[in-house]
A and B are shown apart, each in its own frame.
Chain A
Amino acid sequence: MSDEPILQVIEVTKTFGGILALNRVSFDVAEGEILGIIGPNGSGKTTVVNCITGFIRMSSGKVIFQGKDISGKPPHKIADRGLTRTFQIMRPYYSLAAYKNLVIPLFSPRAKRTGGWRGGGKLGDRDTVGIDILEEIGFERDSYVPYKLASTLPTGYLKRLELARCLALKPEVIICDEIFSGLSMSEIASMVPLIERLQMDGITLVMIEHRLRELFRVANRVMVLNFGEKIAEGSPDEVMASEKVKEAYFGSEDVEEVMNHA
Protein backbone atom coordinates (compact mmCIF):
# COMPACT_ATOMS: atom_id res chain seq x y z
CA MET A 1 0.00 0.00 0.00
CA SER A 2 1.75 3.08 -1.20
CA ASP A 3 0.93 6.66 -0.38
CA GLU A 4 0.24 7.60 -3.94
CA PRO A 5 -3.45 7.79 -4.67
CA ILE A 6 -4.43 4.98 -6.99
CA LEU A 7 -6.77 7.21 -8.97
CA GLN A 8 -6.40 10.92 -9.55
CA VAL A 9 -9.10 12.91 -11.30
CA ILE A 10 -7.78 16.34 -12.25
CA GLU A 11 -9.93 19.27 -13.37
CA VAL A 12 -12.29 17.18 -15.48
CA THR A 13 -14.70 19.26 -17.49
CA LYS A 14 -17.43 18.12 -19.84
CA THR A 15 -19.84 20.13 -21.96
CA PHE A 16 -22.71 18.64 -23.93
CA GLY A 17 -23.70 21.17 -26.55
CA GLY A 18 -24.53 24.14 -24.39
CA ILE A 19 -24.74 22.33 -21.08
CA LEU A 20 -21.84 22.30 -18.66
CA ALA A 21 -22.20 18.85 -17.14
CA LEU A 22 -18.91 18.77 -15.24
CA ASN A 23 -16.99 21.82 -14.13
CA ARG A 24 -13.37 21.19 -13.17
CA VAL A 25 -14.03 18.27 -10.91
CA SER A 26 -10.96 17.01 -9.08
CA PHE A 27 -10.50 14.34 -6.47
CA ASP A 28 -8.12 11.59 -5.43
CA VAL A 29 -8.85 8.05 -4.41
CA ALA A 30 -6.42 6.36 -2.04
CA GLU A 31 -5.58 2.73 -2.53
CA GLY A 32 -7.84 0.41 -0.58
CA GLU A 33 -10.40 2.97 0.52
CA ILE A 34 -14.08 3.24 -0.26
CA LEU A 35 -15.01 6.64 -1.64
CA GLY A 36 -18.65 7.57 -1.95
CA ILE A 37 -19.85 10.09 -4.52
CA ILE A 38 -23.23 11.64 -3.76
CA GLY A 39 -25.30 14.51 -5.00
CA PRO A 40 -28.77 15.39 -6.20
CA ASN A 41 -30.09 14.09 -9.50
CA GLY A 42 -28.42 15.57 -12.50
CA SER A 43 -25.29 16.59 -10.63
CA GLY A 44 -23.07 14.72 -13.01
CA LYS A 45 -22.24 11.63 -11.02
CA THR A 46 -22.67 9.14 -13.85
CA THR A 47 -21.02 11.56 -16.26
CA VAL A 48 -17.89 11.68 -14.13
CA VAL A 49 -17.78 7.89 -14.10
CA ASN A 50 -18.21 7.76 -17.88
CA CYS A 51 -15.37 10.25 -18.31
CA ILE A 52 -13.03 8.41 -15.99
CA THR A 53 -13.66 5.04 -17.57
CA GLY A 54 -13.43 6.26 -21.13
CA PHE A 55 -17.02 5.89 -22.24
CA ILE A 56 -17.27 9.63 -22.89
CA ARG A 57 -14.55 11.89 -24.13
CA MET A 58 -13.80 14.70 -21.65
CA SER A 59 -13.74 18.26 -22.85
CA SER A 60 -10.68 18.87 -20.73
CA GLY A 61 -8.90 17.45 -17.72
CA LYS A 62 -6.77 14.47 -16.84
CA VAL A 63 -7.28 11.11 -15.23
CA ILE A 64 -4.30 9.32 -13.74
CA PHE A 65 -4.56 5.68 -12.72
CA GLN A 66 -1.70 3.95 -10.93
CA GLY A 67 0.58 6.78 -11.91
CA LYS A 68 -0.20 6.57 -15.62
CA ASP A 69 -2.28 9.00 -17.64
CA ILE A 70 -5.37 7.28 -19.00
CA SER A 71 -7.23 10.34 -20.25
CA GLY A 72 -8.90 9.72 -23.56
CA LYS A 73 -8.08 6.05 -23.74
CA PRO A 74 -10.81 3.75 -25.04
CA PRO A 75 -12.91 1.99 -22.40
CA HIS A 76 -11.66 -1.50 -23.04
CA LYS A 77 -8.08 -0.42 -22.56
CA ILE A 78 -8.94 1.22 -19.26
CA ALA A 79 -10.77 -1.86 -18.05
CA ASP A 80 -7.80 -3.87 -19.16
CA ARG A 81 -5.60 -1.95 -16.74
CA GLY A 82 -7.81 -2.85 -13.82
CA LEU A 83 -10.15 0.12 -13.55
CA THR A 84 -13.61 -1.44 -13.86
CA ARG A 85 -17.13 -0.16 -13.46
CA THR A 86 -20.68 -1.37 -13.13
CA PHE A 87 -23.59 0.11 -15.03
CA GLN A 88 -26.49 1.91 -13.45
CA ILE A 89 -28.91 0.41 -15.96
CA MET A 90 -27.91 -3.17 -15.91
CA ARG A 91 -28.06 -5.12 -19.06
CA PRO A 92 -26.73 -8.60 -18.61
CA TYR A 93 -26.33 -10.75 -21.68
CA TYR A 94 -29.95 -11.72 -21.78
CA SER A 95 -29.66 -14.59 -24.18
CA LEU A 96 -27.07 -16.39 -22.06
CA ALA A 97 -27.28 -18.22 -18.76
CA ALA A 98 -26.04 -16.43 -15.66
CA TYR A 99 -22.78 -18.30 -15.32
CA LYS A 100 -22.16 -18.02 -19.04
CA ASN A 101 -22.30 -14.27 -18.61
CA LEU A 102 -19.00 -14.53 -16.80
CA VAL A 103 -17.29 -16.40 -19.58
CA ILE A 104 -16.98 -13.15 -21.48
CA PRO A 105 -14.91 -11.21 -18.94
CA LEU A 106 -12.95 -14.38 -18.25
CA PHE A 107 -12.11 -14.49 -21.94
CA SER A 108 -10.58 -11.03 -21.87
CA PRO A 109 -6.84 -10.45 -22.18
CA ARG A 110 -6.70 -9.19 -18.60
CA ALA A 111 -8.29 -12.32 -17.19
CA LYS A 112 -5.92 -14.44 -19.22
CA ARG A 113 -2.99 -12.44 -17.82
CA THR A 114 -3.99 -12.22 -14.20
CA GLY A 115 -5.75 -15.57 -13.99
CA GLY A 116 -9.09 -14.07 -13.11
CA TRP A 117 -10.58 -13.76 -9.65
CA ARG A 118 -9.13 -16.49 -7.48
CA GLY A 119 -8.23 -18.32 -10.66
CA GLY A 120 -4.54 -18.01 -10.10
CA GLY A 121 -2.32 -18.86 -13.02
CA LYS A 122 -3.67 -20.63 -16.05
CA LEU A 123 -7.43 -20.61 -16.19
CA GLY A 124 -9.10 -23.92 -16.52
CA ASP A 125 -12.60 -24.32 -17.66
CA ARG A 126 -14.21 -20.89 -17.73
CA ASP A 127 -17.56 -22.37 -16.91
CA THR A 128 -16.27 -23.72 -13.60
CA VAL A 129 -14.48 -20.52 -12.67
CA GLY A 130 -17.67 -18.65 -13.51
CA ILE A 131 -19.70 -20.75 -11.13
CA ASP A 132 -17.07 -20.28 -8.44
CA ILE A 133 -17.23 -16.54 -8.76
CA LEU A 134 -20.99 -16.58 -8.65
CA GLU A 135 -20.97 -18.66 -5.53
CA GLU A 136 -18.62 -16.24 -3.90
CA ILE A 137 -20.85 -13.29 -4.49
CA GLY A 138 -23.91 -15.00 -3.24
CA PHE A 139 -25.53 -17.18 -5.85
CA GLU A 140 -26.43 -20.48 -4.28
CA ARG A 141 -24.17 -22.99 -5.93
CA ASP A 142 -26.27 -26.10 -5.83
CA SER A 143 -29.45 -24.46 -6.93
CA TYR A 144 -30.57 -23.84 -10.45
CA VAL A 145 -30.00 -20.11 -10.09
CA PRO A 146 -26.60 -19.85 -11.80
CA TYR A 147 -27.95 -21.81 -14.74
CA LYS A 148 -30.98 -19.70 -15.36
CA LEU A 149 -31.08 -17.37 -18.30
CA ALA A 150 -30.00 -13.93 -17.24
CA SER A 151 -33.25 -12.49 -18.53
CA THR A 152 -35.16 -14.32 -15.81
CA LEU A 153 -33.17 -13.21 -12.80
CA PRO A 154 -34.47 -10.65 -10.33
CA THR A 155 -32.71 -7.34 -9.65
CA GLY A 156 -30.76 -8.42 -6.59
CA TYR A 157 -29.09 -11.19 -8.51
CA LEU A 158 -28.46 -9.00 -11.50
CA LYS A 159 -26.65 -6.43 -9.39
CA ARG A 160 -24.43 -9.14 -8.04
CA LEU A 161 -23.87 -10.38 -11.56
CA GLU A 162 -22.63 -6.91 -12.47
CA LEU A 163 -20.17 -7.05 -9.60
CA ALA A 164 -19.15 -10.54 -10.62
CA ARG A 165 -18.42 -9.28 -14.10
CA CYS A 166 -15.97 -6.81 -12.65
CA LEU A 167 -14.48 -9.35 -10.27
CA ALA A 168 -13.74 -11.76 -13.07
CA LEU A 169 -11.18 -9.26 -14.30
CA LYS A 170 -9.32 -9.24 -10.96
CA PRO A 171 -9.66 -5.47 -10.74
CA GLU A 172 -7.75 -2.91 -8.74
CA VAL A 173 -10.62 -0.45 -8.65
CA ILE A 174 -14.36 -0.98 -9.07
CA ILE A 175 -16.55 2.06 -9.68
CA CYS A 176 -20.07 1.07 -8.66
CA ASP A 177 -22.79 3.15 -10.26
CA GLU A 178 -25.81 3.08 -7.94
CA ILE A 179 -25.41 -0.51 -6.99
CA PHE A 180 -27.85 -0.25 -4.09
CA SER A 181 -30.65 1.22 -6.16
CA GLY A 182 -33.62 -0.99 -6.77
CA LEU A 183 -32.76 -3.38 -3.97
CA SER A 184 -34.93 -4.25 -1.01
CA MET A 185 -33.72 -3.78 2.57
CA SER A 186 -32.80 -7.42 2.95
CA GLU A 187 -30.97 -7.47 -0.34
CA ILE A 188 -28.93 -4.47 0.73
CA ALA A 189 -28.29 -6.10 4.05
CA SER A 190 -26.60 -8.94 2.22
CA MET A 191 -24.72 -6.69 -0.19
CA VAL A 192 -23.01 -4.64 2.50
CA PRO A 193 -20.91 -7.54 3.86
CA LEU A 194 -19.96 -8.37 0.29
CA ILE A 195 -18.68 -4.85 -0.25
CA GLU A 196 -16.73 -4.98 2.99
CA ARG A 197 -15.22 -8.27 1.98
CA LEU A 198 -14.11 -6.82 -1.36
CA GLN A 199 -12.37 -4.02 0.49
CA MET A 200 -10.64 -6.55 2.70
CA ASP A 201 -9.41 -8.33 -0.41
CA GLY A 202 -7.62 -5.15 -1.40
CA ILE A 203 -9.97 -3.70 -3.99
CA THR A 204 -10.51 0.04 -4.02
CA LEU A 205 -14.15 1.03 -4.44
CA VAL A 206 -15.76 4.20 -5.64
CA MET A 207 -19.49 4.13 -5.02
CA ILE A 208 -21.99 6.46 -6.60
CA GLU A 209 -25.05 6.30 -4.47
CA HIS A 210 -28.37 7.84 -3.64
CA ARG A 211 -29.06 5.76 -0.57
CA LEU A 212 -27.00 7.64 1.91
CA ARG A 213 -27.59 5.59 5.03
CA GLU A 214 -26.37 2.38 3.46
CA LEU A 215 -23.48 4.16 1.79
CA PHE A 216 -22.29 5.74 5.02
CA ARG A 217 -22.10 2.32 6.57
CA VAL A 218 -19.31 1.32 4.22
CA ALA A 219 -17.71 4.47 2.88
CA ASN A 220 -14.49 5.84 4.37
CA ARG A 221 -14.81 9.20 2.66
CA VAL A 222 -17.54 10.94 0.76
CA MET A 223 -17.57 13.55 -2.00
CA VAL A 224 -20.55 15.67 -3.00
CA LEU A 225 -21.33 16.92 -6.50
CA ASN A 226 -23.90 19.53 -7.39
CA PHE A 227 -24.53 20.87 -10.89
CA GLY A 228 -21.25 19.35 -12.03
CA GLU A 229 -19.12 20.89 -9.30
CA LYS A 230 -17.56 19.37 -6.25
CA ILE A 231 -19.02 21.16 -3.26
CA ALA A 232 -17.74 19.08 -0.36
CA GLU A 233 -15.34 16.27 0.48
CA GLY A 234 -14.51 14.51 3.70
CA SER A 235 -15.85 11.99 6.16
CA PRO A 236 -19.57 11.30 6.00
CA ASP A 237 -20.28 13.32 9.15
CA GLU A 238 -18.30 16.36 7.99
CA VAL A 239 -20.01 16.33 4.65
CA MET A 240 -23.54 16.02 5.98
CA ALA A 241 -22.92 18.90 8.39
CA SER A 242 -21.84 21.24 5.59
CA GLU A 243 -24.21 24.08 4.73
CA LYS A 244 -23.62 23.83 1.03
CA VAL A 245 -24.56 20.18 0.96
CA LYS A 246 -27.77 20.83 2.83
CA GLU A 247 -28.61 23.61 0.43
CA ALA A 248 -27.95 21.38 -2.54
CA TYR A 249 -30.27 18.67 -1.31
CA PHE A 250 -32.95 20.69 0.41
CA GLY A 251 -32.81 24.12 -1.14
CA SER A 252 -32.01 27.44 0.40
CA GLU A 253 -33.87 28.68 3.46
CA ASP A 254 -32.74 32.23 3.10
CA VAL A 255 -35.96 34.10 3.88
CA GLU A 256 -34.61 37.52 2.98
CA GLU A 257 -33.72 36.32 -0.49
CA VAL A 258 -37.23 35.00 -0.97
CA MET A 259 -38.76 38.24 0.31
CA ASN A 260 -36.66 40.34 -1.99
CA HIS A 261 -38.13 38.61 -4.99
CA ALA A 262 -41.71 39.10 -3.86
Chain B
Amino acid sequence: MEATMDILIYGLVNSTALALIALGFALVYGISRIPNFAHGALYVITGFFVWSLLRGAGLNYFVSIVLGMVITGIIGALMYQFILIRVRGMAISEIIASYAIGLAILEGLRWWGFKGMSNTLPVFWEGTIMIGDVPIDMQRILVVVIGVAVVAFLWVFTHFTRIGLALRGMAQDERAALMLGIDSDLMALVAMAFGAMLAGLAAVLLLPLGNIVVEKGYNVLIQAIAVCIVGGLGSWMGAVLASFLIGFAQILTTVYLGAHYQMVVALLAIILTLILRPSGLFGRQKELEERV
Protein backbone atom coordinates (compact mmCIF):
# COMPACT_ATOMS: atom_id res chain seq x y z
CA MET B 1 0.00 0.00 0.00
CA GLU B 2 2.73 2.34 0.94
CA ALA B 3 4.65 1.51 -2.18
CA THR B 4 1.64 2.35 -4.33
CA MET B 5 1.15 5.76 -2.74
CA ASP B 6 4.87 6.35 -3.14
CA ILE B 7 4.74 5.45 -6.78
CA LEU B 8 1.62 7.49 -7.43
CA ILE B 9 2.89 10.63 -5.81
CA TYR B 10 6.45 10.52 -7.05
CA GLY B 11 5.20 9.41 -10.42
CA LEU B 12 3.02 12.49 -10.55
CA VAL B 13 5.93 14.68 -9.57
CA ASN B 14 8.25 13.11 -12.11
CA SER B 15 5.64 13.35 -14.83
CA THR B 16 4.94 17.03 -14.30
CA ALA B 17 8.67 17.63 -14.15
CA LEU B 18 9.05 15.93 -17.52
CA ALA B 19 6.12 17.86 -18.90
CA LEU B 20 7.66 21.14 -17.81
CA ILE B 21 10.95 20.16 -19.40
CA ALA B 22 9.40 18.99 -22.63
CA LEU B 23 6.80 21.68 -23.18
CA GLY B 24 9.37 24.27 -24.13
CA PHE B 25 10.75 22.01 -26.84
CA ALA B 26 7.29 20.95 -28.00
CA LEU B 27 6.14 24.55 -28.20
CA VAL B 28 9.02 25.66 -30.37
CA TYR B 29 8.74 22.65 -32.64
CA GLY B 30 4.99 22.80 -32.88
CA ILE B 31 4.93 26.40 -33.94
CA SER B 32 8.04 26.93 -35.99
CA ARG B 33 9.04 23.35 -36.82
CA ILE B 34 12.49 24.05 -35.47
CA PRO B 35 13.92 21.30 -33.26
CA ASN B 36 15.69 23.37 -30.65
CA PHE B 37 18.62 21.25 -29.61
CA ALA B 38 19.88 24.01 -27.39
CA HIS B 39 16.97 23.39 -25.04
CA GLY B 40 19.11 21.65 -22.45
CA ALA B 41 21.66 24.44 -22.63
CA LEU B 42 18.98 27.06 -22.00
CA TYR B 43 17.85 25.04 -18.98
CA VAL B 44 21.29 24.99 -17.40
CA ILE B 45 22.18 28.54 -18.25
CA THR B 46 19.07 29.80 -16.51
CA GLY B 47 20.26 28.04 -13.40
CA PHE B 48 23.62 29.73 -13.87
CA PHE B 49 22.07 33.18 -14.23
CA VAL B 50 19.79 32.79 -11.24
CA TRP B 51 22.68 31.49 -9.15
CA SER B 52 24.90 34.40 -10.17
CA LEU B 53 22.22 36.95 -9.52
CA LEU B 54 21.36 35.40 -6.18
CA ARG B 55 24.78 34.60 -4.75
CA GLY B 56 26.91 36.90 -6.79
CA ALA B 57 24.85 40.05 -6.96
CA GLY B 58 22.90 39.37 -3.82
CA LEU B 59 19.52 40.01 -5.32
CA ASN B 60 16.28 38.81 -3.83
CA TYR B 61 15.46 35.20 -4.82
CA PHE B 62 12.20 35.96 -6.53
CA VAL B 63 13.75 38.80 -8.50
CA SER B 64 16.65 36.60 -9.52
CA ILE B 65 14.28 33.95 -10.78
CA VAL B 66 12.25 36.34 -12.86
CA LEU B 67 15.33 38.07 -14.22
CA GLY B 68 16.99 34.76 -15.00
CA MET B 69 13.99 33.57 -16.96
CA VAL B 70 13.74 36.82 -18.84
CA ILE B 71 17.43 36.73 -19.77
CA THR B 72 17.06 33.20 -21.04
CA GLY B 73 14.03 34.22 -23.05
CA ILE B 74 16.07 36.99 -24.60
CA ILE B 75 18.86 34.55 -25.41
CA GLY B 76 16.33 32.32 -27.12
CA ALA B 77 15.04 35.22 -29.15
CA LEU B 78 18.56 36.29 -30.13
CA MET B 79 19.40 32.75 -31.09
CA TYR B 80 16.48 32.71 -33.43
CA GLN B 81 16.93 36.16 -34.85
CA PHE B 82 20.60 35.88 -35.68
CA ILE B 83 21.26 32.25 -36.38
CA LEU B 84 18.26 30.03 -36.78
CA ILE B 85 16.40 32.37 -39.05
CA ARG B 86 19.07 31.87 -41.67
CA VAL B 87 18.71 28.13 -41.74
CA ARG B 88 14.94 28.10 -41.38
CA GLY B 89 13.39 25.36 -43.44
CA MET B 90 16.43 23.16 -43.73
CA ALA B 91 15.73 20.67 -41.02
CA ILE B 92 19.17 19.17 -40.76
CA SER B 93 20.93 22.52 -40.67
CA GLU B 94 18.55 23.67 -37.95
CA ILE B 95 19.42 20.66 -35.86
CA ILE B 96 23.15 21.05 -36.36
CA ALA B 97 23.06 24.80 -35.74
CA SER B 98 20.95 24.61 -32.59
CA TYR B 99 22.93 21.65 -31.30
CA ALA B 100 26.19 23.47 -31.90
CA ILE B 101 24.91 26.52 -30.03
CA GLY B 102 23.76 24.33 -27.19
CA LEU B 103 27.14 22.65 -27.06
CA ALA B 104 28.95 25.95 -27.12
CA ILE B 105 26.89 27.13 -24.15
CA LEU B 106 27.15 23.94 -22.15
CA GLU B 107 30.81 23.28 -22.71
CA GLY B 108 31.56 26.94 -22.20
CA LEU B 109 29.86 26.76 -18.82
CA ARG B 110 31.75 23.62 -18.03
CA TRP B 111 35.05 25.23 -18.86
CA TRP B 112 34.21 28.29 -16.84
CA GLY B 113 34.24 26.13 -13.79
CA PHE B 114 30.77 24.92 -13.29
CA LYS B 115 31.99 21.39 -13.63
CA GLY B 116 32.17 19.50 -10.41
CA MET B 117 31.19 22.46 -8.36
CA SER B 118 28.10 21.88 -6.33
CA ASN B 119 26.27 25.00 -7.01
CA THR B 120 22.80 24.83 -5.65
CA LEU B 121 19.74 26.90 -5.74
CA PRO B 122 17.73 27.04 -2.56
CA VAL B 123 14.27 25.58 -2.52
CA PHE B 124 11.58 28.11 -2.79
CA TRP B 125 9.47 26.77 -0.03
CA GLU B 126 11.01 24.92 2.86
CA GLY B 127 9.33 22.06 4.57
CA THR B 128 7.82 18.68 4.09
CA ILE B 129 4.29 17.50 4.43
CA MET B 130 2.77 14.10 4.56
CA ILE B 131 0.24 12.81 2.08
CA GLY B 132 -1.04 9.60 3.43
CA ASP B 133 2.12 7.94 4.71
CA VAL B 134 4.36 9.46 2.13
CA PRO B 135 6.63 12.33 2.98
CA ILE B 136 6.95 14.86 0.24
CA ASP B 137 8.77 18.13 0.27
CA MET B 138 7.10 21.39 -0.62
CA GLN B 139 9.32 22.05 -3.60
CA ARG B 140 8.01 18.97 -5.31
CA ILE B 141 4.45 19.98 -4.60
CA LEU B 142 5.28 23.33 -6.09
CA VAL B 143 6.50 21.56 -9.21
CA VAL B 144 3.19 19.81 -9.63
CA VAL B 145 1.13 22.89 -8.93
CA ILE B 146 3.05 25.08 -11.29
CA GLY B 147 3.17 22.34 -13.90
CA VAL B 148 -0.57 22.06 -13.94
CA ALA B 149 -0.87 25.84 -13.93
CA VAL B 150 1.45 26.14 -16.92
CA VAL B 151 -0.47 23.60 -18.95
CA ALA B 152 -3.74 25.31 -18.10
CA PHE B 153 -2.30 28.71 -18.91
CA LEU B 154 -1.00 27.50 -22.26
CA TRP B 155 -4.37 26.08 -23.11
CA VAL B 156 -6.19 29.28 -22.26
CA PHE B 157 -3.55 31.43 -23.94
CA THR B 158 -3.62 29.57 -27.21
CA HIS B 159 -7.36 29.36 -27.33
CA PHE B 160 -8.43 32.78 -26.22
CA THR B 161 -5.82 35.42 -26.90
CA ARG B 162 -4.90 36.91 -30.26
CA ILE B 163 -1.25 35.99 -30.12
CA GLY B 164 -2.10 32.56 -28.84
CA LEU B 165 -4.50 31.94 -31.66
CA ALA B 166 -1.94 33.20 -34.15
CA LEU B 167 0.55 30.74 -32.74
CA ARG B 168 -1.91 27.91 -33.06
CA GLY B 169 -2.69 28.96 -36.59
CA MET B 170 0.96 28.82 -37.46
CA ALA B 171 1.29 25.45 -35.83
CA GLN B 172 -1.48 24.05 -37.95
CA ASP B 173 -0.60 25.44 -41.32
CA GLU B 174 2.11 28.01 -41.78
CA ARG B 175 1.19 29.02 -45.32
CA ALA B 176 -2.42 29.60 -44.47
CA ALA B 177 -1.37 31.67 -41.49
CA LEU B 178 0.90 33.76 -43.70
CA MET B 179 -1.99 34.41 -46.03
CA LEU B 180 -4.05 35.66 -43.14
CA GLY B 181 -1.43 38.24 -42.35
CA ILE B 182 0.33 36.48 -39.51
CA ASP B 183 4.03 37.22 -39.58
CA SER B 184 5.56 33.80 -39.33
CA ASP B 185 9.04 35.01 -38.46
CA LEU B 186 7.71 37.11 -35.62
CA MET B 187 5.63 34.25 -34.35
CA ALA B 188 8.59 31.91 -34.51
CA LEU B 189 10.61 34.46 -32.55
CA VAL B 190 7.88 34.66 -29.93
CA ALA B 191 7.73 30.88 -29.81
CA MET B 192 11.49 30.59 -29.30
CA ALA B 193 11.47 33.18 -26.56
CA PHE B 194 8.54 31.47 -24.88
CA GLY B 195 10.11 28.06 -25.23
CA ALA B 196 13.36 29.33 -23.77
CA MET B 197 11.49 30.85 -20.86
CA LEU B 198 9.69 27.60 -20.27
CA ALA B 199 13.05 25.87 -20.17
CA GLY B 200 14.08 28.48 -17.65
CA LEU B 201 10.96 27.93 -15.59
CA ALA B 202 11.60 24.21 -15.51
CA ALA B 203 15.17 24.87 -14.42
CA VAL B 204 14.11 27.20 -11.67
CA LEU B 205 11.67 24.67 -10.31
CA LEU B 206 13.73 21.53 -10.69
CA LEU B 207 17.31 22.58 -10.07
CA PRO B 208 16.73 23.24 -6.38
CA LEU B 209 16.03 19.53 -6.07
CA GLY B 210 19.64 18.81 -6.87
CA ASN B 211 22.62 20.83 -7.91
CA ILE B 212 23.48 22.70 -11.06
CA VAL B 213 25.59 20.39 -13.15
CA VAL B 214 26.30 20.74 -16.86
CA GLU B 215 25.45 17.05 -17.39
CA LYS B 216 21.87 17.88 -16.58
CA GLY B 217 21.75 19.90 -19.76
CA TYR B 218 22.25 16.78 -21.85
CA ASN B 219 19.88 14.75 -19.75
CA VAL B 220 17.19 17.38 -20.15
CA LEU B 221 17.68 17.41 -23.90
CA ILE B 222 17.35 13.64 -24.15
CA GLN B 223 14.28 13.58 -21.95
CA ALA B 224 12.59 16.43 -23.78
CA ILE B 225 13.16 14.74 -27.12
CA ALA B 226 11.96 11.40 -25.78
CA VAL B 227 8.74 12.93 -24.50
CA CYS B 228 8.12 14.80 -27.72
CA ILE B 229 8.75 11.82 -29.95
CA VAL B 230 6.52 9.55 -27.89
CA GLY B 231 3.81 12.18 -27.75
CA GLY B 232 4.17 13.09 -31.37
CA LEU B 233 6.37 15.92 -32.61
CA GLY B 234 4.24 19.02 -32.71
CA SER B 235 1.48 17.98 -30.35
CA TRP B 236 1.30 19.65 -26.95
CA MET B 237 -1.36 17.35 -25.60
CA GLY B 238 0.71 14.45 -26.80
CA ALA B 239 3.73 15.77 -24.94
CA VAL B 240 1.74 16.04 -21.71
CA LEU B 241 0.36 12.53 -22.08
CA ALA B 242 3.75 11.13 -23.02
CA SER B 243 5.40 12.75 -20.03
CA PHE B 244 2.99 10.86 -17.81
CA LEU B 245 3.72 7.60 -19.57
CA ILE B 246 7.45 8.02 -19.40
CA GLY B 247 7.35 9.62 -15.96
CA PHE B 248 5.55 6.70 -14.39
CA ALA B 249 7.66 4.21 -16.28
CA GLN B 250 10.77 5.82 -14.87
CA ILE B 251 9.44 5.77 -11.33
CA LEU B 252 8.44 2.14 -11.67
CA THR B 253 11.88 1.18 -12.88
CA THR B 254 13.46 3.20 -10.10
CA VAL B 255 11.42 1.39 -7.48
CA TYR B 256 11.90 -2.10 -8.83
CA LEU B 257 15.22 -1.97 -10.59
CA GLY B 258 17.20 0.97 -9.34
CA ALA B 259 17.65 4.64 -9.95
CA HIS B 260 20.11 4.29 -12.83
CA TYR B 261 17.67 3.20 -15.46
CA GLN B 262 16.02 6.51 -16.20
CA MET B 263 18.08 7.14 -19.30
CA VAL B 264 17.48 3.60 -20.51
CA VAL B 265 13.74 4.14 -20.21
CA ALA B 266 13.94 7.33 -22.23
CA LEU B 267 15.99 5.71 -24.97
CA LEU B 268 13.79 2.63 -25.10
CA ALA B 269 10.74 4.83 -25.34
CA ILE B 270 12.16 6.56 -28.39
CA ILE B 271 13.13 3.34 -30.13
CA LEU B 272 9.85 1.61 -29.40
CA THR B 273 7.88 4.56 -30.66
CA LEU B 274 9.87 4.72 -33.88
CA ILE B 275 9.34 1.03 -34.47
CA LEU B 276 5.70 0.77 -33.57
CA ARG B 277 4.13 4.11 -34.28
CA PRO B 278 6.58 6.63 -35.66
CA SER B 279 4.30 9.61 -35.58
CA GLY B 280 3.83 9.23 -31.83
CA LEU B 281 0.62 9.28 -29.87
CA PHE B 282 -0.93 12.39 -31.31
CA GLY B 283 1.51 13.20 -34.00
CA ARG B 284 0.18 15.34 -36.76
CA GLN B 285 2.66 13.85 -39.16
CA LYS B 286 0.68 10.81 -40.00
CA GLU B 287 2.51 11.01 -43.26
CA LEU B 288 5.32 9.08 -41.64
CA GLU B 289 3.16 6.02 -41.94
CA GLU B 290 1.39 6.94 -45.07
CA ARG B 291 3.84 8.91 -47.13
CA VAL B 292 2.51 10.72 -50.11
Interface of A with B (CB < 8 Å)? Answer: 50, 55-57
Contacts and interface: CB of A to CB of B under 8 A. Distances in A.
A56 B290 CA distance: 5
Contacts of B290: 55-57
B291 interface: yes
Top 8 A-B residue pairs of the complex, sorted by shortest distance between their CB atoms: A57-B290, A56-B290, A50-B292, A56-B292, A55-B292, A55-B291, A57-B289, A55-B290
B283 to A, nearest CB: 13
Give the interface size bracket for B toward A. Answer: under 10
9 contacts: A50-B292, A55-B290, A55-B291, A55-B292, A56-B290, A56-B291, A56-B292, A57-B289, A57-B290
Contacts of B292: 50, 55-56
Contacts of B289: 57
B232 to A, nearest CB: 14
Interface string B256-292: 0000000000000000000000000000000001111
A57 B289 CA distance: 8
A contact face: mostly helix, strand, loop, or mixed: loop
B237 to A, nearest CB: 16
A55 B289 CA distance: 9
A133 B291 CA distance: 29
Interface string B50-76: 000000000000000000000000000
A212 B284 CA distance: 37
A140 to B, nearest CB: 35
A63 to B, nearest CB: 15
A55 B290 CA distance: 6
A56 B291 CA distance: 6
Nearest to A46: B292
A50 B291 CA distance: 9
Nearest to A51: B290
Contacts of A55: 290-292
A35 B116 CA distance: 73
B252 to A, nearest CB: 34
B138 to A, nearest CB: 44
Contacts of A56: 290-292
Contacts of A57: 289-290
A45 to B, nearest CB: 13
Nearest to B284: A17
A56 B286 CA distance: 10
Nearest to B289: A57
A128 B70 CA distance: 65
Contacts of A50: 292
Interface in B30-51: none
A200 to B, nearest CB: 33
Nearest to B287: A56
